[in-house]
């Protein structure tokens, strides 16, 4: 089976194609016209968030039983690919909530937790966030030091998280904390649901970032923060299992990052093609545009390869296969490809590209961040190489 975009459309349902059509229309009519305004104000207008709710975008991958659209991984990334052709923060607003913010509950939560949180996330009434990173534990997530201690019928959390996306709008946070220092990541880390109004929980000011301006990250401070004992994701039986939950959530997040990179790269390529067409229309000879034409060919070739990786990994995941290694390879390749393409586009556009808030300049900044969050490129390389060594040992 071919894995180009058109062929892919043939392997999804009619219902999904109708949804995708609506999303494309929403992007063209509502999001694209305000992409620069959102970049400048660093805010998404509330009426657009409302429209996202009405389209069901906050529940893309949440099962229908919990009020979501129940899309497959492949379908979900096809939607993300479209949305990231405009301002990247639109995808972040929905994707973090529907993705890393709430997937831990979907994967490992109790039925009661699923019933309380997932329908509210799916409808967009509540936003979810994911709190793992700390000042001294980013890549080395097993090194987190936020502590949770059971005291009567509540857990008491102390510590600081940083760079937490959607912290300004989230009603609850999937929070990863240490419950047994002696066991570390294997058995000593637990995933909690911390609601915004938990006593002792404070959201700090927004970070000032180079990109993804309309998607805000914040510090979180837990100071003797009390959450009910039943807020352990999966209940008391899963105390100590939170690192596994976090890693499973990130496997999926890595494919979403790949989709964002592919969508952005496609838009950059489209802009470059339009530019060369304009030059030709204005009378320039093809021979004089050879450098630009070769750049187009290189961009299209890299994008094609990235898209095949992304789609085939999503299909494998939908078949229930373990894609830890493939998800990491996809994240490395797609996000680094998007940076290369944005760089080539900057060369082609020259002065027009370097202007602050030109389309290419915005993409160049935004796609750079994809290489950092949900695990940096270096960390993905460590995951891939460890897997290779493990598998070759098990074959020996």
Residues with a known catalytic role: 374
Between 126 and 163, CB nearer to ligand FAD: 163
Please state, in angstroms and rounded to a whole number, the distance separating the CA atoms of residues 219 and 217.
Answer: 7
Between 250 and 299, CB nearer to ligand FAD: 250
103, 104, 105, 108 alpha-carbon torsion, rounded to 10°: 120
The single residue among 15, 181, 352, 378 that binds ligand FAD, judged by CB under 6 A, is 378
Q: Does 165 bind ligand FAD (CB under 6 A)?
A: yes
Of the candidates 45, 88, 58, the residue with the CA atom closest to the CA atom of residue 213: 88
Min. distance of Cβ 41 from ligand FAD in angstroms?
Answer: 18
Q: Does 154 bind ligand FAD (CB under 6 A)?
A: no
Beta partners for residue 190, in sequence order: 177
The number of beta carbons lying within 10 Å of the beta carbon of residue 95 is 29
Between 140 and 319, CB nearer to ligand FAD: 140
Q: Does 198 bind ligand FAD (CB under 6 A)?
A: no
Between 296 and 384, CB nearer to ligand FAD: 384
Beta partners for residue 226, in sequence order: 156
Binding mask 217-236 for ligand FAD (x = CB under 6 A): x-------------------
Min. distance of Cβ 257 from ligand FAD in angstroms?
Answer: 10
The single residue among 90, 163, 172, 222 that binds ligand FAD, judged by CB under 6 A, is 163
Beta partners for residue 194, in sequence order: 173
Per CB under 6 A, contacts with ligand FAD among 99-138 are: 129-133, 138
Q: Does 172 bind ligand FAD (CB under 6 A)?
A: no
Please state, in angstroms and rounded to a whole number, the distance separating the CA atoms of residues 374 and 253.
Answer: 7
Q: Does 373 bind ligand FAD (CB under 6 A)?
A: yes
The single residue among 27, 369, 383, 384 that binds ligand FAD, judged by CB under 6 A, is 369
Between 160 and 308, CB nearer to ligand FAD: 160
Residues of the shown chain interacting with ligand FAD in the complex, contacts defined by CB under 6 A: 96, 129-133, 138-139, 163-165, 212, 217, 369, 372-376, 378-379, 382
């Amino acid at each position: 089976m071919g894995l180009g975009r058109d062929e892919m459309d043939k392997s999804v349902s009619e219902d999904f194609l109708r949804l995708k059509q609506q999303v494309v229309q929403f992007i063209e009519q509502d999001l694209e016209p305000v992409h620069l305004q959102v970049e400048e104000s660093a805010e998404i207008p509330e009426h657009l968030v409302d429209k996202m709710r009405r389209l069901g975008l906050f529940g893309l991958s949440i099962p229908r039983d919990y009020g979501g659209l129940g899309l497959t991984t492949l379908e979900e990334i096809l939607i993300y690919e479209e949305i990231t052709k405009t301002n990247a923060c639109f995808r972040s607003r929905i994707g973090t909530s529907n993705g890393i913010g709430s997937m831990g509950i979907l994967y490992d939560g109790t039925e009661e937790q699923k019933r309380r949180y997932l329908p509210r996330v799916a409808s967009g009434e509540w936003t979810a966030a994911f709190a793992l990173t700390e000042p001294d534990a980013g890549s080395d997530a097993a090194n987190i030091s936020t502590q949770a201690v059971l005291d009567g019928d509540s857990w008491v959390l102390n510590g600081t998280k940083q760079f937490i996306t959607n912290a300004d709008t989230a009603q609850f946070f999937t929070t990863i904390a240490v419950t047994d220092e002696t066991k570390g990541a294997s058995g000593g880390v637990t995933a909690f649901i911390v609601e915004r109004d938990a006593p002792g929980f404070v959201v700090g000011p927004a970070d000032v970032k180079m990109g993804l301006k309309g998607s805000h990250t914040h510090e979180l401070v837990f100071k003797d923060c009390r959450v009910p004992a039943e807020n352990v994701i999966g209940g008391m039986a899963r105390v100590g299992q939170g690192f596994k939950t976090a890693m499973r959530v990130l496997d999926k997040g890595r494919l979403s990052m790949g989709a964002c990179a592919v969508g952005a790269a496609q838009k950059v390529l489209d802009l470059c093609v339009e530019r060369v067409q304009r030059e030709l229309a204005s009378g320039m000879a093809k021979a004089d545009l050879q450098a630009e034409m070769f750049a187009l060919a290189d961009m299209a070739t890299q994008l094609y390869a990235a898209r095949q990786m992304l789609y085939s990994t999503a299909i494998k995941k939908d078949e229930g296969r373990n894609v830890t290694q493939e998800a990491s390879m996809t994240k490395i390749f797609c996000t680094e490809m998007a940076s290369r393409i944005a760089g080539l586009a900057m060369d082609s556009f020259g002065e027009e590209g370097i202007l602050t808030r030109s389309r290419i300049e915005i993409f160049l900044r935004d796609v750079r961040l994809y290489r950092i969050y949900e695990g940096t490129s270096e960390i993905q390389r460590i995951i891939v190489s460890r897997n290779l060594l493990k598998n070759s040992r098990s074959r020996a």
